[in-house]
Amino acid sequence: MPNIADSIEKYIFAKDSNRPDLLRQAFTADATLEMVVRTGVISFPPQVSGRAGIADVLVRRFGQSYENVYTFCLGEPPKAGANTHACKWLVGMSVKETRELRIGCGEYHWRFAPQSGLAEHLCITIEHMQVCPSQFLEPVMNWLQSLDYPWCLPGEMIERAPQLSNIAPVIEYLQT
3-state secondary structure 69-104: EEEEEECCCCCCCCCEEEEEEEEEEEECCCCCEEEE
Whether the CB-CB separation of 105 and 128 falls below 8 Å is answered with yes
CATH number of 4-175: 3.10.450.50
* Model confidence pLDDT, tens digit, residues 143-162: 999 999 999 999 999 999 99
Confidence of residue 70 (pLDDT cuts 50, 70, 90): very high
pLDDT at 2 over 70: no
Is a pLDDT exceeding 80 seen at residue 141?
yes
